Every structure is written in C-alpha cells, then in structure tokens.
Copies of this chain bind each other. A is one copy, B any other.
Amino acid sequence: MAKARGEEAGGEIEREDVASGRLHGAIARSLGAAIVSGKHQPGDILTNEIEASERLQVSRSAYREAIRILAAKGLVESRPKTGTRVSPRARWRLLDPEVLSWFFESEPSESFLQELYELRMIVEPAAAALAAKRRDQGQLERMRAALVVMQHETLATEAGQAADRDFHDAVLEATANGPLYTLSSSIGAAVRWTTIFKQRSRNLARDPVPDHWKVFDAIAAGREDQAREAMERLVTLALDDTRASMKA
C-alpha cells in the first residue's frame, strides 16, 4: 500500500504523525495548525469532505471526526450545502491547550506572544495572592520540593523544567479555584514552549531560582500582596528573557 503519489497541494498526513496518536487527532492537528497559522483564513471554505478525505487518503469518518474536534474548539463551523468554513477569530478557543500547541507548532507571531504574556501578567500574580491565602501544608511541601529539585538541576535539564512546571502547578492548585487553574495551566504550558527557544539561545539570562524562592516564602508566610509582587517580578523576568531570545 501507500503507493499513492504525493499530491500537488500541501495537506498530507504523514504516517509517522499517526504514530503519536489516533488518525483523527493527527488530521485535526494538521488542519488546526494550518488554520491558526493563517494558511486558512477565517471565512475560507474547506474542500468538501469527500475530496478532502480522498486527498488525505483517509476515510470520510476519520476526517469528519477531525472536523468535529476543530468545531468543538471553535475553529470551524459546518453546515449542509455551504460546507465547512473557518470561523472568525473571535470564536476560537484561544486558551485551549491544544489550540495553543498548534500555535506553537509554527512559531507564533510576536504580538500573540505579547498578548499571552499580558494575560499571564494579569492572572498569575492574582493566583499567587490567592494561594498565599489558601495554601495548605501539603501544597507548600510540594512547592518546596519542586524548588529544591529545580535548584540543583537548573532549567537546562528535563528534570529541572519538570520541577518548574510542578511548582507553578502547586501554586495554582493552592488557589482552590478550578477555572483559574485550567486557565493558568494552559497559559503556563504554552508559555513554557518558549523555554525551548530560550534554552537554545546561548546565554541563559539570569538564574530564576531565587525569584521563585521569594514567591514561595511569601506564599508560605501568607502574605498576599508580597506574593503578588514576587510573582509579578517572575513573569516580567520571563517576558524579558523571551523577548531577548527572540530578537537574537
């Protein structure tokens, strides 16, 4: 099988893509990335299901399930006769983790990163303040453990980055606010994609661990305002690093 020649137009689903998941997921990812990257503009109409599925060499069912995924995330809208068209950007679930990951598949525009950081700057400091008010002993333990690991692994290693994620995750959990948790973890995860950029940029700015400790201390002491400000510095620092490494 797989004797089919490469078609002229772009949309091919690699058999390797499929390896990392189900077929419909791979199709959704491919199409989704094409949409958020602007290859399909809002208002554009996708080729109809029959043709599209034939071009991708997949069954119509698989293709349809992919479309349902995209529709669930607000990227497209389907109607009989009209077809499936890309929705206006205002309907996109920009904070859905998958949608965000599709943005980061082809380096997102600087302005989008800017907006993401702006939102993060609004949300995370407030989250830190809430955490200072509500954290329990177990959560504090988790934060401390994460920072200890982070301290002598640094952000260069996989373990160090995992510890960083774990620290922030513990802070969010401590807010005891479900919606806030899902929100910040989406942004955080997305923004941490940029860590890849940061790391491949030669000079790794300055050590972020001390600033993390300041956040921790404030949360442990139950000082809301102090926690908010410490987190603000942390986010600002991260933004600076990212900006610097993108100019480079």
The answer, among B61, B93, B179, for a CB contact under 8 Å with A61, is: B61
Number of interface residues of A (CB under 8 A): 38
Q: Determine whether the beta carbon of B182 is less than 8 Å from that of A90.
A: yes
CB-contacts of A109-152 with B (<8 A): 112, 115-116, 118-119, 122-123, 126, 130
- Answer whether residue A46 sits at the interface, using C-beta atoms and an 8 A cutoff: no
Complex-state Cα separation, A115 to B179, whole angstroms: 7
The answer, among B71, B96, B119, B176, for a CB contact under 8 Å with A177, is: B119
Could you say how many copies of this chain the assembly holds? 2
CB-contacts of A151-207 with B (<8 A): 176-183, 185, 187
- Answer whether residue A64 sits at the interface, using C-beta atoms and an 8 A cutoff: yes
- Answer whether residue A94 sits at the interface, using C-beta atoms and an 8 A cutoff: yes
A-B pairs, top 6 by smallest CB distance, nearest first, are: A72-B72, A122-B126, A69-B72, A115-B177, A94-B179, A68-B68
26 example contacts (A-B, Cβ-Cβ < 8 A) are as follows: A28-B72, A61-B61, A65-B65, A68-B72, A69-B71, A72-B73, A89-B178, A90-B181, A90-B182, A90-B185, A92-B178, A93-B93, A93-B96, A94-B178, A95-B179, A96-B96, A112-B178, A115-B177, A115-B178, A115-B179, A115-B180, A118-B130, A118-B180, A122-B122, A179-B187, A183-B183
Q: Which A residues fall within an 8 A CB radius of B? A: 24, 28, 61, 64-65, 68-69, 71-73, 89-90, 92-98, 112, 115-116, 118-119, 122-123, 126, 130, 176-183, 185, 187
